[in-house]
Amino acid sequence: MSANPSTQGQAETGARPFSLRLSARDLLRVAIFAVIFIVATYVIGMLGIISPLVWLLIVPLQAIVGGVTVLLFLTRVRHAGMLTLFGVVVAMFYLVGGNTLLSSTGIVGLGLVAELILWAGRYRSKWAMIWAYTVFGLSFFTPFLPLLVDRTAYLASSNFTDMGKAYVHASDTLLSVPVISLLACIVLASSFLGGVFGSAILGKHFVRAGLA
Amino acid sequence: MIHIEHVTWTYPHAETPSLRNLDLHVRSGEFVVLCGASGSGKSTALRLMNGLIPHFHDEGSLVGTVTVDGIATPGAELDEIGLGTGTVLQHPRRQFFTETAREEIAFAMENFGFPPPEIHTRVDDLISQIAVHVPVEQPLQRLSGGQQQQVAIAAATAHRPRILLLDEPSSSLSADAVERLTATLAQVKAEGVTIVVAEHRLRYLQGLADRIIVMRDGAMSTQWSAGTFRSLPDDVLAREGLRGDIRTAELPSLPATGGSVAQPSPGDQIRSAALELEGIRCRLGGRVVLDIERVSIAAGEVTALRGANGAGKSTLARIITGLQRSAGTVRLDGKALSRQARQRVSAIVMQDVQRQLFTDRVDAEIGLAGAGAGQVDESETVLRALDLDHLATRHPLSLSGGQQQRLVVATVRVSNRRIVIFDEPSSGVDRRHLRSISDQIRRIAASGAVVVLISHDEDLLHLAADRQLTLAPHQAS
Amino acid sequence: MPVPSLRPRRGLDPRAKILLVIGCSIVVMSPAGLRFVPFALLLAIGLALGERDWRRAASLPAAAGVMWVLGWWLPLWWPNALTAVVSLACVYLIRFVVAIGVGAHVIVTTSPTQLAAALRIWRIPRPFAVTLAVMLRFFPVVGAEANAVLDAMRLRGLVGAGGLLRHPVLSVERFTVPMIAASLRASEDLSASAILRGLGSRRKPTAMQPPRFATPDLVLVLVTATLTTAALTLPAPLS
């Protein structure tokens, strides 16, 4: 190790202040972390199928797993635009694997906003990283976006009224704007916690293991 | 062709340099072998030549100059260096980017923008050369280690680089695969390509090498010309920590029957033993991947599980340990066990042990493993026995590959498992530690466990195994 | 019965597949998407049969069937608040089953180099084209690592609904940390080798077999057109 890695890091960023020229290695880095992000959150999602008891935990847990992945990724960001690229490729993948156009656009937008936050923190601020992930973590809410925008079209089926009063009532309460907004708040809180937790995991594991 | 001048290199997070004031020059068309014990810096020197050092290790420190084919590598782009050099890393299986030999061979030429007709001619040419020994239409991951090596060399030389670099190419090859490797390298050399091989087995290269460089502690320690080397006896090599020829492990076969057994024996030869498998059949993706009618594996000794890639070795390991569903019965000490019950008495020491380290401290890792077995007190004894006690507060992932493996072995020992599987334990570990690995394996067997060792490494099998069960890919009937 | 040929099967033009899957995803997930679900399901089953993946061909209709029973019939037989919630979820989720079914075909049958070639023809900028293609290569690698970590956790008794409920965050930490560490390590040799062989460089790559629109693609277009017409004209069974 060089005697003083921090000065060397600054010298590096000073010479090329986060230019937009992504090297091949940057691209492969985005790719591996995007895949880890997708696979890790998918595995957590599958836990829900195995035991419905944990359904309520899934979205917060996904936000936490995502937080660990994204925060480790952010420590390896060397050029501007890497988080935006991350958002775009994750959104593209979800679009292929079943997601609404609206949700995927949402993820791209969140990636951009997160990149701006990161930029404001000069790409090295811990809290900027946490807030950037908090914003990006809202991507776990994007699958519910369409329900907010066009809920009747999604759920009103022709035999809707045959299903009885209980059904209509349940759908009215469950998918009302306040309930969905509450869900959004839960996701937001979870992704903030995910960011904080991810940052803690960085210190507890990856820094000590020499991986961050 | 290659000029390394006064180079000192320290990996990030390392305390001491891996190369110290190294001076090394390779002439055009020369065939140079870099050898030395593990940690001597031979692989590091190779990574310097293809630019992975410094480009793949941020924050490492490099002093000195490196010029490869006229390019100063530290300031160049990796693809620029790659255009002039071909690299074959240690595990071909882990570096393939595509699924078939054709695509893999075309890969570099496509990326470098060769015109498609030229790519076609070159690929056809190389494919016809390797097709004698390699089933070129098979998926790459299903080929044997030797066949994968042939494809990897073809893929590294397809764009006609003037330099070919190989890192321990013989490390997991059988004796006849090594012969083919020698022939292939001879042909590449005949085309005028400069070749540098980092290797610990040497004799197979003695007809080809122009110069053998022995490295020690990150610098050049001795040089032999081809003539001198040929006259050196093997014990001089051994003193430098080097090995001459490849040993083949001849082990007595374990009697077994079934479609996946390479040499089935008459059923009456199978005696009862601690672990008995009966009627094991497993289908994956609509294909029968394993069919073992009967086999008994004894406790207290080490059974080697051998066979080509795709013969079903890992599937058998997963069935024994209860991770994979299958037809048939698995009995331990005469009692048929369910999958869940098998999971509770089994352990696997995986090929990549990072997958099975779950905590943030070495002692916590032992504590977690011992918690289920109720013997936390033993943990210190085990740590000491495996020479890990001075690392107790370190993060498991910060340890070296060999230390991580010993830590996993320690967790197996404190959790007292009856069935222990070792999956290619020597693949990611320094050769120097071969004997220590084999001691670990032996000791677990001596404690009365059923030990199964999956390995291609003849040296390790020779040291650690008592008998062998060889599997062959199941033929669809 | 098709005879396996010596040369690798060419399969569909990756461009056709990408357009198909994105189109399918957008249509099925749109507000009026339920109308298309049965037809897209047929398409997904057909594609699975085409690549001889019998398991997927069987599990897709099974999964969709379960969603249909839970979503459309359960609340009629047994109306209460709980079944209503389950039903609402399934009415939404059935679209995912179908979209994922079609998407799986593309993910499984498209090689990273084919995808990169297709994206290049469309002049998708290099960062996106390279990253997406490499992701395709990394999926099996990371998937295998995730499975291996879960295996290791099972053998150590660290998997189970009980443990997850009692210490959810700790359980997640024990999965995530080794999974990320192992995946990064597994990707290292792959990345090094690919970059040395020019992947992602600023040179202009070529393709040994440029994607070509051929007969199978024409069949796909015709089948898709027929199914779309059917979805628009026939009475919609699911709405």
Q: Indicate yes or no: CB of B78 within 8 angstroms of CB of A204.
A: no
Of C75, C135, C184, the CB nearest to A167: C75
Q: Cα dist. C66→C45, C53, C94 in Å?
A: 16, 21, 9
Q: Name the pLDDT band for B41 (thresholds 50, 70, 90).
A: confident
pLDDT at B432: 65
Distance CA C197, CA C214 (A): 30
Burial A65-81 (b: 16+ CB within 10 A, else e): bbbbbbbbbbbbbbbbb
Q: Indicate yes or no: CB of B85 within 8 angstroms of CB of C156.
A: no
Token pair recorded at residue C137: 């290569």
pLDDT at A4: 37
Q: Cα dist. C170→A40, A138, B8, B16, B408 in Å?
A: 15, 23, 43, 36, 20
Specify if B52 maps to a domain: yes
Q: Which of B213, B209, B88, B73 is nearest to B145 (CA)?
A: B88
Flag whether residue C192 sits within 8 Å of chain B, measured between CB atoms. Answer: yes
pLDDT at A10: 35
Whether B210 shows a pLDDT value over 70: the answer reads yes
Whether B472 shows a pLDDT value over 60: the answer reads yes
Q: Which of residues 128-187 of C touch B (CB under 8 A)?
A: 137, 145, 148-149, 151-158, 174, 177-179, 181-182, 185-186
pLDDT at A9: 36
ipTM of the complex: 0.88
Q: Positive or negative, the Cα torsion across B315, B319, B324, B330?
A: positive
Flag whether residue C195 sits within 8 Å of chain B, measured between CB atoms. Answer: yes
- Mutation choice for A interface testing from B360, B391, B394 by most A CBs within 10 A: B360
Average the pLDDT over A127-145 and give the result.
91
Q: How close does chain B come to A95, measured CA to CA in Å?
A: 24
Distance CA B105, CA B86 (A): 12
pLDDT at C78: 80
Distance CA A21, CA A16 (A): 10
C161 to chain A: nearest residue by CA?
A51
C193 to chain B: nearest residue by CA?
B95
pLDDT at B459: 81
Q: Name the pLDDT band for B245 (thresholds 50, 70, 90).
A: low
The answer to whether residues A212 and A75 touch, using CB atoms and an 8 Å cutoff, is yes
Query: Quick one: B234 and B312 in the same domain?
Result: no
pLDDT at B201: 79
Average the pLDDT over A10-27 and give the result.
61
Average the pLDDT over B24-52 and give the result.
90
Chains with 3 or more CB pairs under 8 A to chain C: A, B
Flag whether residue B285 sits within 8 Å of chain C, measured between CB atoms. Answer: yes
Query: Quick one: B198 and B300 in the same domain?
Result: no
Whether B428 shows a pLDDT value over 80: the answer reads no
- How many distinct structural domains can be found in chain A? 1
Specify if A33 maps to a domain: yes
With beta carbons under 8 A apart, name residues in chain B contacting C149.
Answer: 355-356
Whether A31 shows a pLDDT value over 80: the answer reads yes
Specify if B161 maps to a domain: yes
Q: Indicate yes or no: CB of B113 within 8 angstroms of CB of C112.
A: no
Q: Which of residues 18-57 of B touch C (CB under 8 A)?
A: 50-52, 56
Q: Which domain holds residue A27?
A: 19-142+188-206
Q: Cα dist. B272→B1, B255, B266 in Å?
A: 63, 11, 14
Find the CATH number of the domain harbouring B401.
Answer: 3.40.50.300
With beta carbons under 8 A apart, name residues in chain B contacting C210.
Answer: 116
pLDDT at C1: 32
Specify if B64 maps to a domain: yes
Of C153, C178, C192, the CB nearest to B354: C178
Angle at CA C78, nearest 5°, toward C74 and C84? 60
Q: Indicate yes or no: CB of B59 within 8 angstroms of CB of A2.
A: yes
Specify if A212 maps to a domain: no
Of B208, B239, B270, which marks where a domain is finished? Answer: B239
- Cα dihedral value A41, A43, A47, A50, nearest 10: 140
Torsion angles phi and psi, residue B275, rounded to 5:
-115, 120
Specify if A1 maps to a domain: no
Q: Indicate yes or no: CB of C131 within 8 angstroms of CB of A146.
A: no
Residues forming beta bridges with residue B256, ordered by sequence position = B295
Chains with 3 or more CB pairs under 8 A to chain A: B, C
- Mutation choice for C interface testing from B93, B110, B340 by most C CBs within 10 A: B110
B50 to chain C: nearest residue by CA?
C196
With beta carbons under 8 A apart, name residues in chain C contacting A81.
Answer: 127
Token pair recorded at residue A199: 């940052």
Flag whether residue B403 sits within 8 Å of chain C, measured between CB atoms. Answer: no
Q: Cα dist. C106→B162, C15, C37, C111, C127 in Å?
A: 38, 10, 18, 9, 21
Q: How close does chain C come to A204, measured CA to CA in Å?
A: 10
Distance CA B348, CA C155 (A): 8
Query: Quick one: B289 and B222 in the same domain?
Result: no
With beta carbons under 8 A apart, name residues in chain A contacting C25.
Answer: 95-99
Of B185, B212, B239, which marks where a domain is finished? Answer: B239
- Helix ranges (H only) for C12-125 are 14-29, 37-50, 54-68, 74-77, 81-109, 112-121
Q: Which of B37, B171, B160 is nearest to B109 (CA)?
A: B160
**How high is the mean pLDDT of chain A?**
80
Rounded percentage of chain B residues whose pLDDT exceeds 70: 96
Query: Quick one: B234 and B271 in the same domain?
Result: no
Q: How close does chain C come to A8, measured CA to CA in Å?
A: 24
Distance CA B23, CA B36 (A): 16
Specify if B244 maps to a domain: no
pLDDT at A165: 67
Query: Quick one: B225 and B315 in the same domain?
Result: no
Helices A55-75 and A126-137 meet at what angle, rounded to 10? 140
pLDDT at C191: 94
Query: Quick one: B185 and B276 in the same domain?
Result: no
Q: How close does chain C come to B94, measured CA to CA in Å?
A: 6
With beta carbons under 8 A apart, name residues in chain A contacting C201.
Answer: 24
> Which has more confidence, B477 or B97?
B97
Instruction: Convert the pLDDT of each residue in C131-141 to its tens digit.
Output: 999 999 999 99
Instruction: Convert the pLDDT of each residue in B392-405 to its tens digit.
Output: 889 999 888 888 88
Specify if A176 maps to a domain: no
Flag whether residue B11 sits within 8 Å of chain C, measured between CB atoms. Answer: no
Specify if B427 maps to a domain: yes
Q: Which domain holds residue B347?
A: 256-471
Maximum mean pLDDT: which of B183-187, B384-388, B391-395, C9-13: B183-187
Of B111, B346, B415, the CB nearest to C198: B111
Specify if A10 maps to a domain: no
Specify if A104 maps to a domain: yes
Chains with 3 or more CB pairs under 8 A to chain B: A, C
Average the pLDDT over B410-433 and give the result.
82
- How many distinct structural domains can be found in chain B? 2
Flag whether residue B372 sits within 8 Å of chain C, measured between CB atoms. Answer: yes
Specify if B122 maps to a domain: yes
Of A35, A95, A170, the CB nearest to C81: A170
Of B78, B123, B343, the CB nearest to C155: B343
Average the pLDDT over A61-82 and give the result.
91
Q: Which of B197, B106, B117 is nearest to B159 (CA)?
A: B106
> Which has more confidence, C46 or B271?
C46
Q: Indicate yes or no: CB of C204 within 8 angstroms of CB of B79.
A: no
Of C8, C195, C198, the CB nearest to B137: C8
Q: Which of residues 39-78 of C touch B (CB under 8 A)?
A: 52-55
**How high is the mean pLDDT of chain B?**
88
Q: Indicate yes or no: CB of A169 within 8 angstroms of CB of C26.
A: no
- Return the half-sphere exposure (C-beta side, CA atoms, 13 A cut-off) of residue B214: 18
Specify if B245 maps to a domain: no
Q: How close does chain C come to A173, measured CA to CA in Å?
A: 10
Rounded percentage of chain A residues whose pLDDT exceeds 70: 75
Flag whether residue A16 sits within 8 Å of chain B, measured between CB atoms. Answer: no
Q: Name the pLDDT band for A158 (thresholds 50, 70, 90).
A: very low
Query: Quick one: B209 and B282 in the same domain?
Result: no
Flag whether residue A30 sits within 8 Å of chain C, measured between CB atoms. Answer: yes
Specify if A99 maps to a domain: yes
Q: Indicate yes or no: CB of A8 within 8 angstroms of CB of B14.
A: no
- Mutation choice for A interface testing from B393, B398, B400, B407 by most A CBs within 10 A: B398
Query: Quick one: B159 and B220 in the same domain?
Result: yes
Q: What is the pLDDT along chain C (239 residues), one digit of tens a residue?
A: 333 333 445 578 888 888 888 888 888 887 778 888 888 899 999 999 988 888 889 999 999 999 888 888 887 888 777 777 788 778 878 888 888 888 888 888 888 888 999 999 899 999 999 999 999 999 999 999 999 999 999 999 888 777 777 888 888 899 999 999 999 999 999 999 999 999 988 888 888 888 888 888 888 888 888 888 877 777 766 65
Instruction: Convert the pLDDT of each residue in B275-325 to its tens digit.
Output: 999 999 998 877 888 999 999 999 999 999 998 877 889 899 999 999 999
pLDDT at C228: 81
Q: How close does chain C come to A193, measured CA to CA in Å?
A: 11
pLDDT at B14: 80
pLDDT at A132: 95
B52 to chain A: nearest residue by CA?
A25
Q: Strands of B335-336's sheet, edge to edge?
A: B256-257, B287-297, B275-284, B327-332, B335-336
